[in-house]
Amino acid sequence: MTDTSRPATRVEPLRIIYAGTPEFATSGLNALLDTEHQVIAVYTQPDRPSGRGRKIKPGPVKQLALDHKIPVFQPLNLRDEGAQQELAALKPDLMVVAAYGLILPQLVLDIPEFGCINIHASLLPRWRGAAPIQYSVLSGDTESGVTIMQMDKGLDTGDMLLKEACPIEADENASQLHDKLAVLSGPLLVSAIEQLMQGTAKPLQQDSSLSTYAPKIAKQDACINWHRSSTEISLQVRAFNDWPVAYTELNNERIRVWSAEPSSNTAQGVKPGTVTECQASGITVACAQGTLTLAKIQFAGGKALPVRDILNAKTVRLQQGDLFTSAL
């Protein structure tokens, strides 16, 4: 659905506000910095503690903006009248949003001449919401991609400007998919902006009957339930690499599982969660259906290591017959 209130063509470079917070959003900003357009401001979420030391440090998008001496704004929300007036005073032609983490009210969406466009890490309308990359892996999708969308007041419901798909490989985890989609996002964003300026954009309305929702991930979502199939658990391991990382417990000690391989082979006569084999190639665990071979794990306070290195350590911490439990 084309918005006829928007300008038909534009020759001069645009004044652009860029809104984003995590690493994924740096790709779009970097792409804009390589164009003739002027990034007049960056909006990003307030600095928060991170890492083991819980130190306050700028997010990836803020750091990139500081490196390029771009003014940075970090309002707690954009519903505040003062924050809205501050944004309007910048007189942007366009606002680009990528994993910003704050809702843009209609008053903000209406400020730029060309509106607000969003870089979304899925092939909309599939996986609207906060965690499209993780849910595409968790659900066993074989394809993902990036959608550049004209924003409206709904949650990822706006008209689609451009889409580009890419396959999800059989052993690919969310971290690897994240990096692939980030690479796609920058050039696709620049192309969408060119079409908007030239008046050649063809916005396509989403079919909401095909939509799925990817809510924000919580740490407890990564807890392994061994009473599920090995295929389901392996998808969980892939989906939550590298955050929050799938985990289980042994003798009240949390063990994080970074990579694992499912098998349809059934372990007879043992409880789900039981270690049936300990070999250099991996630790095999019984599931409700099939078995799962853990290839890379991490004990509390330690580094993530291949199972071979852990079994070769002087202190043996895993053996056949051990029972992993679900800390639910």
Break the chain into its structural domains and give their ranges.
15-214, 219-311
| Tokens, residue 295 | 């290839």
* Mean pLDDT (whole number) for 280-299: 95
Mean pLDDT across the stretch 242-271? 94
What is the arithmetic mean of pLDDT over 93-100? Answer: 98
Answer yes or no: is pLDDT of 243 > 70. Answer: yes
| Residue, of 35 and 280, whose pLDDT is higher | 35
Residue 98 has pLDDT above 60, yes or no: yes
CATH of domain 15-214: 3.40.50.170
d(CA 156, CA 61) in angstroms, rounded, equals 21
Cβ(250)–Cβ(296) under 8 Å?
no
Q: What is the rounded CA–CA span in Å between residue 188 and residue 186?
A: 5
CA 33 – CA 42 distance, rounded (Å) = 12
Min mean pLDDT across 1-15, 95-109, 169-183 is at 1-15
Q: Which of 96, 238, 85 is nearest to 173 (CA)?
A: 238
CATH code reported for the domain at 219-311: 3.10.25.10
* pLDDT tens digits for range 165-222: 999 999 999 999 999 999 999 999 999 999 999 999 999 999 999 999 999 999 999 9
Residue with tokens 């659900």: 139
Say how many residues make up the chain.
328
Q: What pLDDT, on a 0 to 100 scale, did the predictor assign at position 1? A: 43
Give, as one character, the DSSP assignment of residue 22: S
Task: Say which DSSP state 204 is in.
Answer: B
Of 23-27, 52-56, 85-89, minimum mean pLDDT range? 52-56
Asked if the model's pLDDT at residue 236 lies above 60, the reply is: yes
Query: 52-61, 62-71, 117-126, 276-285 — which is least confidently predicted?
Result: 52-61
Q: Give the pLDDT score at 56.
A: 87
Its pTM stands at 0.93
Residue 8: which pLDDT band, with cuts at 50, 70 and 90?
low
pLDDT of 314:
61
114-137 tens-digit pLDDT = 999 999 999 999 999 999 999 999
**Does residue 7 carry a pLDDT above 90?**
no
Same fold, 15-214 and 219-311: no
Asked whether residue 259 carries a pLDDT value surpassing 60, the answer given is yes
Residue 126 vs residues 136, 161, 182: alpha-carbon distances, Å: 9, 15, 18
> What's the rounded Cα separation, in Å, for the pair 233 and 243?
15
Q: Is the peptide bond before 125 cis (omega within 30 degrees of 0)?
A: yes
Rounded percentage of the chain residues whose pLDDT exceeds 70: 95
Question: What is the per-residue pLDDT for 150?
Answer: 98
Average pLDDT on 147-166 reads 97
Q: Interhelix angle for 26-33 vs 60-67, to 10°?
A: 20
Quick one: pLDDT at residue 327? 62
In angstroms, the CA 149 to CA 122 distance is 11
Residue 212 to residue 264: CA distance in whole angstroms: 29
For residue 37, list its beta bridge partners. Answer: none
